[in-house]
Amino acid sequence: MPEVIVHRRRPHPRTEEKLMLAITDAVVKEFGAPKESVTVTIMEAPRDMKMKAGVLFSER
């Protein structure tokens, strides 16, 4: 049961459904997993809610 979690800083212009379908298709192709077993989750965080090396992404 493959599960893919995508973390991204903010909404992307590409629709979530289109992105999740592309990821699902890639997992099916590369892992040979049945489509029904693939789970995809997109988690988004605003740039002011994500930090790396002590610096907010919004300040980079």
Per-position DSSP letters for 17-48, written without gaps between them: HHHHHHHHHHHHHHH---GGG-EEEEEE--GG
Task: Please give the pLDDT value at position 13.
Answer: 67
Task: Please give the pLDDT value at position 9.
Answer: 77
All domains of the chain in start order, with CATH: 3-59 (3.30.429.10)
Each residue's pLDDT, cut to its tens digit, for the chain (60 residues) gives 999 999 887 766 667 888 899 999 999 999 999 999 999 999 988 889 989 999 998 998
Task: Please give the pLDDT value at position 8.
Answer: 84
